[in-house]
Amino acid sequence: MDDKEQLGLKIRSLRKSKKITQEKLSEIIGISPRQMVKIEMGHTFPTIEVLKKIAAVLGVSVRNLFDNEYYDDCEVVKEKLYSKINSLNEKNIRFLYIVASNLEGF
Whole-number percent of the chain with pLDDT over 70: 92
Q: DSSP class of residue 60? A: S
Position 37 pLDDT exceeds 70: yes
Q: Where are the alpha helices (DSSP H) in 18-101?
A: 22-29, 33-40, 48-58, 62-66, 74-86, 90-101
The domain 3-69: what is its CATH number?
A: 1.10.260.40
Q: Output DSSP code: residue 41.
A: T
In the chain, domain spans: 3-69, 72-101
Confidence of residue 27 (pLDDT cuts 50, 70, 90): very high
- Least confident range from 17-31, 46-60, 63-77, 86-100: namely 63-77
